[in-house]
Amino acid sequence: MPELPEVETTLRGVSPHLVGRAIREVIVRHKGLRWPVPDTIHELEGQRVLDGTRRGKYLLFKTKPGTLMIHLGMSGALRVSDPEMPWRKHDHVALQLDSGKQLRFHDPRRFGCVLLIDDPATHPLLAELGPEPLSDNFDAAYLQHELKGKTVNIKQAIMDSHLVVGVGNIYACEALFMAGISPKKPAGKVTRAALEKLVSAIKKVLAASIEMGGTTLRDFLRENGEPGYFKQTLRVYDREGEPCRVCGAAVKRIVQSNRSTFFCAKCQR
Ligand SMILES: [Zn+2]
């Protein structure tokens, strides 16, 4: 599943091909995505893309009549193509640009979306989102305030997009390990000092992944192959039974809210 770093890399990969360009035509081959592609999407035709940004895992491309909002869902990808390239199965929507290139949205599982919205600030899918993890708004003071008295475990808390966006399962496991916090600890009981470590670990693990994604930017112009998941050295994730890289104890796996959690019971308290 594309996580925040992959979405950020997608933004950086496609923006130079899109921002400042006019959209000549919107080609909808299958409108049955997570939410149907609206007929209003054709209002983008003749419009120039003014800006490309990201909020959580939503890509936002601003035009005069509205904002093109794209979510990659479970399996979505964007690719800049030449129009004569054969359509691939699961290429659902394409923007024909005045550069001659096409931006194609590919999504085998169709959990993604391509929508035209009015105002990102008030859109229901975006309005409730917590701060961006890499922004200055996300700090230990904020976390402490939000988590006060919360009995939910800290891992589940940081994966909630109302608290902070973009902390997926891998990043939650890795950041909690780096911060030395047990994933089972009630969120309200994590000390301020530990929250400081946690915030810095979350920023570090996401930034490292985005940096790694930078090397895959050329893939957005490649016709075959998906931009892969970023291979980073994982400290605990998917390492059940293997020795902790710090203390050598076996990494444990438990299930929390139907997701696997990997951690070191010795290093994380
Ligand atoms: Zn350990």
Distance from the CA of 250 to the center of ligand 1, in angstroms? Answer: 8
Q: What integer pLDDT is reported at residue 219 of this predicted model?
A: 56
Distance from the CA of 267 to the center of ligand 1, in angstroms? Answer: 4
Radius of gyration of the chain measured on its C-alpha atoms: 20
Query: Could you tell me the domains of the chain?
Result: 4-127 (3.20.190.10), 140-263 (1.10.8.50)
pLDDT tens-digit map of 176-212: 999 999 999 999 999 999 999 999 999 999 998 888 8
pTM metric for this prediction: 0.90
Residue 250 has pLDDT above 80, yes or no: yes
Q: Which residues are designated catalytic? A: 2-3, 57, 259
Distance from the CA of 182 to the center of ligand 1, in angstroms? Answer: 11
Q: What integer is the mean pLDDT of 37-55?
A: 98
Give 185-191 contacts, CB < 8 A, sequence gap 24+.
185/153, 185/154, 185/269, 186/150, 186/151, 186/152, 186/153, 186/154, 187/147, 187/150, 187/151, 187/152, 187/153, 187/154, 187/156, 187/157, 188/147, 188/148, 188/149, 188/150, 188/151, 190/147, 190/154
Please state, for a pLDDT cut of 70, what percent of the chain lies above it. 93
| 220 phi, psi to nearest 5 deg | -70, -15
Q: If pLDDT is split at 50, 70 and 90, which confidence band does 218 have?
A: low
Distance from the CA of 229 to the center of ligand 1, in angstroms? Answer: 26
Q: What integer pLDDT is reported at residue 209 of this predicted model?
A: 86
